[in-house]
Chains A and B, each alone.
Chain A
């Protein structure tokens, strides 16, 4: 008992260093392991350059974030583990000049936020869920809390809501998946699974697809919640699936990547044999997967059974804790780690080529 460090109880909560990119300016936004929002510009041949970091001092630290910031027009929206939603002016990172900050609930003991922020530009709304089971709504432009009659579940919400046609779609730890009217907060339909739903859904055509900890990938009609098909894997689904053309790529937590057609039939699978939390990324050269231990693999997405020859290339990053979503920008991917490093890697048919690494904590280029 003496050997245990009581501080460990809250020690791990620093987020995943999630990243988002403004493709017009090549600026990457992230929340690092020290709880700072950081803007780094990819200057091409000149490498990365730090633009700004928030907060400048010790006050108002976000304590990390698990889901990628959202870039909307002139603002960056971030959900901090500290229980606040931030909307930064992306040019001057100001919260007062067309930006805002709101606590997730009233009072001093704020619930932690493990979801990302979802925005609905049509209805001028932003949403985020909380560890205490609440889902909050804000005016996107001002941050004013929306007058929902307190949408509150009996269990954690870690699934970032997806906004589609004014409705929110998200899962919760009470094993249910919800469709909620974004204006009124009324539940449109619920769907019960046999496991918690920590990951976010995607919508493709008329289907909402999400994974559950009951090892099933579910495809439901997004308007009615009627089940269309399920697919069973050998372990939990956490990362949201990715759709490219008519193929759905979904990775289960034990490291098996499944390629499915739109009816849920498996086309092929690849066992990476290491834990995967981040969704696969589709690049012009193939499908990139990254395991938590930092092993990147480029796969040939051809539907036929290719066996071991499906692997086109691998790259070992000497990192542990890669759980955040990979960003892809044409022939490049950006990968961030819980060691506070940000990588730019070129992906081509000949394999991976590390372009640069940036240490977010030291604010300098790393090896």
Chain B
């Protein structure tokens, strides 16, 4: 167990703490600016992974028509659908877990930053003593040892403590997480996955917003910045299209109306010709295409209004 503690300290905590402190000194002893600079650095380091993730998502988008076709072909045979899904992914060189790369990298950074902020923005003697152990002794060209006590004040926030308001920071955490998710989520062709995606779109921001009620606001600041940068990167690749409509309506299983402006078949056809790579593509539009999967139809103008838009 000690080896893991050592590795965790040497690979994650110490490099992060020292980098953050170097930024703190270079940013004129402003911890908020240092956190922003640190976030930019982390996002730059993980940029290749992020781009790979986006590439994977686009590839998966392009596979959606093929997937729907396959799902309708093997409707009712879940095991065959799974096999064929994997086959399609394999043949196309797409890894469904490839999208998780940046997320997996982010997790130790987040947990590490939590620990680092506690050490750096200490509130008791033990944390401060822990800080001295983690500073690189060879880092003599910058006065990292003498940089404490840290100026942890930024606007109304003590970056080492939760937001005293306590609404603004949790709201920003939740809102930016929602935006980031909305921009990057690959809509699934699988109805079950669609509903879980819709749930996650709301649950994760709410959960993180709730967590940030208790976490140091410096950590929340990292998360907010990281989300905004993520949204920015996504914008350069897909534009704002994935964001709209901002609040997709809940999927409802309803019988189709004969008076709808556009039939389901028309919609399906229009989505099937979309290769998923277009900047004007609206990924969530595919969520409505469940005919092949469960044989039900819905009124196009109600409940899934965005699916009825003409392209």
Contact = CB atoms under 8 A, between A and B. Distances in A.
Interface in A8-44: 8-9, 12-13, 16
B145 A198 contact: no
Most interface-central of B133, B149, B216 (chain A CB within 10 A): B149
Most interface-central of B123, B124, B149 (chain A CB within 10 A): B124
Contact of A213 (B148, B219, B223): B148
A22 B275 CA distance: 84
Interface stretch (B50-58, B110-118, B192-200): B110-118
18 contacts: A1-B111, A1-B114, A1-B208, A3-B111, A4-B110, A4-B114, A8-B118, A9-B214, A12-B124, A16-B125, A66-B125, A112-B124, A131-B123, A198-B128, A213-B148, A275-B129, A277-B129, A292-B129
B259 interface: no
A253 interface: yes
B132 interface: yes
Interface in A224-252: 234-236, 238
B125 A198 contact: yes
User: Which 3 pairs, one residue from A and one from B, show the smallest C-beta to C-beta distance?
Assistant: A6-B214, A4-B114, A12-B126
Contacts of A194: 146
A260 interface: no
A8 B149 CA distance: 21
Nearest to B114: A4
Contact of B211 (A6, A16, A213, A235): A6
A4 B111 contact: yes
B217 to A, nearest CB: 12
Nearest to B208: A1
B133 A9 contact: no
A6 B111 CA distance: 11
Contact of A114 (B114, B125, B214): B125
Contacts of A12: 124, 126-127
B184 to A, nearest CB: 17
Contacts of B124: 12-13, 112, 114
Interface in B200-242: 208, 211, 214-216, 219, 223
Q: How large, as a class, is the contact surface on chain A? A: 35 or more
A214 interface: yes
Contacts of A2: 211
A18 B114 CA distance: 29
Contacts of B107: 1, 3
Interface residues of B, number: 26
Contact of A173 (B145, B149, B215): B149
Interface string B239-274: 000000000000000000000000000000000000
Given A114-B125, A173-B149, A254 B132 contact: yes
Contacts of A253: 129, 132
Contacts of A16: 125
Contact of A1 (B132, B145, B211): B211
A155 B150 CA distance: 11
Interface in B94-118: 107, 110-111, 114, 118
Contacts of A6: 211, 214-215
B223 A1 contact: yes
A213 B214 contact: no
B257 to A, nearest CB: 43
A77 interface: no
A196 interface: yes
B137 interface: yes
A207 to B, nearest CB: 24
A166 interface: no
Interface in B157-210: 208
A323 interface: yes
B66 to A, nearest CB: 35
B309 to A, nearest CB: 36
A323 B132 CA distance: 14
A295 interface: no
